A and B are shown apart, each in its own frame.
Chain A
């Protein structure tokens, strides 16, 4: 089985889908030359005019992708860095997400918006952020955030096959990580979380790069005698809350981790849903791990002060276990 990076896996996904379906077109700046991360490399050579150079007109790119999708094409859009999608939020939120619903189900909008997110090498305030909570807040969009190459291919094919607008978030730092990736067509269904590791003391819910960090955190915690279950959501919308609740009902403690801001972040939604469903069973408050509510600074010494990594997940899990001890002592 080929051993591919996430970028190679999504490139393979594009080829598999485009060979199957001549109505798939790709739109974006520089994609003819491979895209900012090589994730479109070679597609122009194989698919020619189906790979469309677009001007730096984000609103037009997303508006036209939605319009073309509503008229019978499947569109895959490269937004390069996720920050650039903010120039197209009107078209994304007010058009693509709403067309189907506000026209009474007349339209379908099969489009995928590929966006690179997260910190890497001091890219600073306008090339380092994670916006999944903004997208997840809007009904009508689906939001995908893979953590490994196998999922990256299967989720991207599933996203392209989906008849709805899908935001496909590709964390920059983990793009080079490799995994065994089957050849040909397979899909990882949207809305199905994966249990990466079974455990009994605390459930760590994460996605994208923090799912990778959560697995490392679980190793650290195991050394301290704390058994962590790790859930990789893979898809944020639809949210597989059932898998999360089943796990937390067992462990009685949860940590939700993402690289985006904690304040108003998607972790707050997961935490709230856990507490609504399992309040009386929880041994500790649901902990959140995310970036502090600041812009991402340039200086390497400052960046790490804002953005969390494995250590913060370990600390949050420890805190959950410790707090639950206190709670039990008070109760007894």
Chain B
């Protein structure tokens, strides 16, 4: 559903219309991702930050709309471009920034870094440096939910590059067969690393569920409400026990594949054109047109969020490094099943 149609839905009392808290929360989290990622980019290019990182700028509506449509117990799997998913699922800036700086209070105690941020307590089952790495994990998480008899569903974020992996087809077959509660949400940002989708991918992405009886929807991934509605519809289906759905969210990454690369594979004019469809100003225009917030209110959110991001950097820089003596810790769990005789 487009933003334009949202008002109509509200008038019809559509229960899929987000509450005001959700509407404002989505705005704050989109701005949060934007400011977090811009700051990470700045610090990374200044060589203050170790490792390498992939910017989510331009794709905020997908993570935020998707996660806003979930219930608190629901789970997500993420990608190498995972900062946005983590923030959208509720991981705080300090834990994320400390992780990116390799510090002890980081979300993974400095073991993971940019591509492996996870917070299992929030149902964030991990960013994943392997393209398509989330497919099997999402299927397994959903299988566990089915066996354990809870209602938790798993939202599997992946990219247009990953849809060509065999694991996509293996997972969609199995989850459809067993009617597992999974939503496959493809962020089509038009590029697999540096290579345009036209050069790698045959057919329509949304049709890839069809042979398995899995419904496919295509939405404007820069329209946060459209993503929210699509995921909500898929979540309802999953919770009714009808199995997985496939959603293709068409979006665009404003920066390159990884921060710091040269981007010879697309023109500045293309990027400028795409930036006109920036999801955040679009959503703010809608919020203002609906009279839910004014320009000063929006500016206030940017100011607060920017301050929080700055504070998270200060926190990360002041935080302790992990102790080298602990470098081998947590490789193996020392626990065993309760019934073990050992």
Which of A57, A75, A99, A100 touches B170 (beta carbons < 8 Å)? A57
Q: Which residues of A contact B94 (CB under 8 A)?
A: none
Which of B133, B140, B339 touches A64 (beta carbons < 8 Å)? B140
Q: Which residues of A contact B119 (CB under 8 A)?
A: 106
Selecting from A185-193, A252-260, A266-274, the interface stretch reads A185-193
A268 to chain B, nearest CB (A): 22
Which of B143, B147, B174, B333 touches A163 (beta carbons < 8 Å)? B333
Q: Is the CB of A101 within 8 A of B333?
A: no
A20-B339, A161-B339 given; A104·B137 CB < 8 A: no
Selecting from B24-32, B109-117, B241-249, B298-306, the interface stretch reads B109-117
Q: Is the CB of B330 within 8 A of A60?
A: no
Selecting from A87-95, A126-134, A300-308, the interface stretch reads A87-95
The answer to whether A139 has its CB under 8 Å from any CB of chain B is: yes
A15 to chain B, nearest CB (A): 14
Q: Is the CB of A105 within 8 A of B329?
A: yes
Q: Is the CB of A103 within 8 A of B136?
A: no
Within 8 A of A (CB), among B104-146: 106-112, 116, 118-121, 125-126, 128-130, 133, 135-141, 143-145
Q: Which residues of B contact A71 (CB under 8 A)?
A: 75, 140-141, 144-145, 148
Q: Is the CB of A189 within 8 A of B342?
A: yes
Within 8 A of B (CB), among A224-255: none
Which of A25, A55, A104 touches B330 (beta carbons < 8 Å)? A104
Whole-angstrom distance between the alpha carbons of A101 and B340 in the complex?
A: 23
Within 8 A of A (CB), among B164-178: 166-167, 170-171, 173-174, 177
Q: Is the CB of B171 within 8 A of A60?
A: yes
Q: Considering only CB atoms, which chain A residue lies closest to B133 in the complex?
A: A95
Q: Considering only CB atoms, which chain A residue lies closest to B142 in the complex?
A: A67
A64-B143, A95-B130 given; A102·B339 CB < 8 A: no
Q: Considering only CB atoms, which chain A residue lies closest to B109 in the complex?
A: A104
Q: How many A-B residue pairs have CB under 8 A?
A: 173
A286 to chain B, nearest CB (A): 27
Indicate the member of B173, B329, B332, B339 with the most A CB atoms within 10 Å: B332
Q: Is the CB of B148 within 8 A of A72?
A: yes
A62 to chain B, nearest CB (A): 7
Interface size of A as a range: 35 or more
Q: Which residues of B contact A57 (CB under 8 A)?
A: 166, 170, 173-174
Q: Is the CB of B342 within 8 A of A65?
A: no
The answer to whether A8 has its CB under 8 Å from any CB of chain B is: no
Whole-angstrom distance between the alpha carbons of A249 and B264 in the complex?
A: 63
The answer to whether B199 has its CB under 8 Å from any CB of chain A is: no
A63-B167, A74-B337, A106-B118 given; A140·B111 CB < 8 A: no
Q: Considering only CB atoms, which chain B residue lies closest to A63 in the complex?
A: B136
A94-B130, A95-B130 given; A102·B111 CB < 8 A: yes
- The 4 A-B pairs of least Cβ separation, nearest first, read A63-B136, A67-B140, A104-B108, A105-B330
Question: B residues near A, CB below 8 A?
Answer: 75, 106-112, 116, 118-121, 125-126, 128-130, 133, 135-141, 143-145, 147-148, 166-167, 170-171, 173-174, 177, 329-337, 339-342
18 examples of A-B residue contacts, CB within 8 angstroms: A50-B147, A55-B173, A60-B135, A60-B139, A62-B136, A63-B133, A64-B136, A69-B140, A73-B147, A91-B136, A101-B111, A102-B126, A103-B126, A104-B330, A106-B121, A107-B120, A108-B333, A163-B333
Beyond contacts A60-B171, A73-B144, A95-B133: 7 other A-B pairs, Cβ-Cβ < 8 A, are A20-B339, A70-B125, A94-B130, A104-B106, A105-B330, A106-B119, A140-B332
